[in-house]
Chain A
């Protein structure tokens, strides 16, 4: 039976983890390689890096991070943030990423998704959708949630599936950072209209939120803070899901 995935996400800025796990035995709390290794040893089904480096001159730091991590972690590694072109995707994959997530570039020009999924295969193309609730539905935001686009999230999700995306990483901008749970209705709607796996993101504060995320129809749940701050370990999260009869890899 296919298991539901738990994906811890690390925010990386200038090659350093921004919000790190507070482990006493950690030599360097800001080292993304060491943090990713802790997650993979703890049973993470995949690791996600979100590169939030703002300045262009430091953008290359992510390649080094990915290269070092992929030599230590033997679970799938997804990298997103600032991915603009086929060339960016190629560089990340060559550095050792298994999947690349595309956000702003996919909204601005869906051909990036078409071309990259044809060139590298759908299996490594994840489209990240940042959506905000409006009276009429959900609207897509780009540039890390700063810019409204007027694009309807549900229509965009279907379009990305047709363009060849292998997975959708759906983040609710309303819920992100609130620790009040995923936007369940958004996850349900998107999971039911597309036939590719959906990764739920944004808002996890408790283990029950992970349960709700899977029950909404998502194939995987992504969380950052609850793991960063050591509130729960990945293994604790998995044991909890298993106790609620949700199939996970233990």
Chain B
């Protein structure tokens, strides 16, 4: 099996690579590439993302044909895709970080700054927070409710249809922190930095 981590020069993805390689051992081939043919032929795709919504969308757009290839992979071929952090946020129709930026539109919704109640809550939301699993998701197999995950973000994904929400976390309000829509998965937290529980989620995704 081939799992491709999309390398579109947006942020630091070495931790994502390390964690997937740790879980995959020798059983699964982990590719790190922006080569469209390799993405097309792989079984699963991971879309990481760090920095701002706009910088990540710009990064995807800077590689000719990448967005079309990813859309075909996820929407037409319905193969499993996991977005992490801004990788998840980009599923939305629109993001409001820096300037209003069009998203991929795969999971209807928007990405807005977390309402920190006039400074009552510090931003970024950094650290370990518990997740409240609200629907059975394949990537949460053997993950206990209220498990701790590592977060670092200031913006949140607000889906239009709540049925895509797989988990929420409590910070100033109920923040959507995992989505599942058919073959499309996303986590706002960083499974690659969430110790053994995070690695289990990666393992679940690899074994889908």
Contacts and interface: CB of A to CB of B under 8 A. Distances in A.
B116 A195 contact: yes
Given A74-B22, A197-B124, A3 B15 contact: no
B192 A74 contact: yes
Nearest to B119: A195
Given A120-B12, A124-B50, A2 B124 contact: no
Interface string B173-208: 000000000000000000011111011000000000
A96 B18 contact: yes
Interface stretch (B36-44, B99-107, B145-153): B145-153
A76 B129 CA distance: 14
A13 B52 CA distance: 35
B22 A71 contact: yes
B130 interface: yes
Interface string A58-85: 0000000000001100111000000000
B160 to A, nearest CB: 27
B50 A5 contact: no
Contact of A1 (B18, B123, B129, B153): B129
A134 B191 CA distance: 44
B14 interface: yes
B18 A123 contact: no
Contacts of A93: 12, 14
Contacts of B52: 121
A15 interface: no
Given A96-B15, A120-B51, A123-B153, 12 more contacts: A1-B129, A2-B125, A2-B127, A74-B193, A74-B194, A76-B152, A123-B126, A124-B12, A167-B124, A196-B124, A197-B126, A197-B127
B170 A219 contact: no
Contacts of B198: 74
Interface of B: 11-12, 14-15, 18-19, 21-22, 50-52, 55, 116, 119, 122-130, 148, 150-154, 170-171, 192-196, 198-199
Contacts of A94: 12, 14
Contacts of B151: 2
Interface string A200-224: 0000000000000000000110000
A249 interface: yes
Nearest to B129: A2
A1 B130 contact: yes
11 contacts: A2-B171, A45-B128, A74-B19, A74-B22, A74-B198, A75-B195, A93-B14, A95-B14, A98-B12, A195-B116, A219-B127
A166 B51 CA distance: 11
Which 3 A-B residue pairs are closest in the complex by CB-CB distance? A121-B51, A93-B12, A249-B128
Contacts of B116: 195
Interface in A1-54: 1-5, 40, 45
B167 to A, nearest CB: 15
Contacts of B150: 75-76
Given A1-B170, A5-B127, A123 B192 contact: no
B128 A167 contact: no
Contacts of B126: 123, 166-167, 197, 219
A8 to B, nearest CB: 15
A142 interface: no
Nearest to A124: B12
B195 to A, nearest CB: 5
A74 B199 contact: yes
A122 interface: yes
Given A3-B128, A74-B193, A249-B128, A219 B122 contact: yes
Contacts of B123: 195-196
Contacts of A45: 127-128
Contacts of B55: 121
A121 B194 CA distance: 20
Nearest to B148: A249
A117 B169 CA distance: 26
B124 A166 contact: yes
Contacts of A3: 127-129, 148
A75 B191 CA distance: 9
A60 to B, nearest CB: 17
Contacts of B14: 70, 93-96
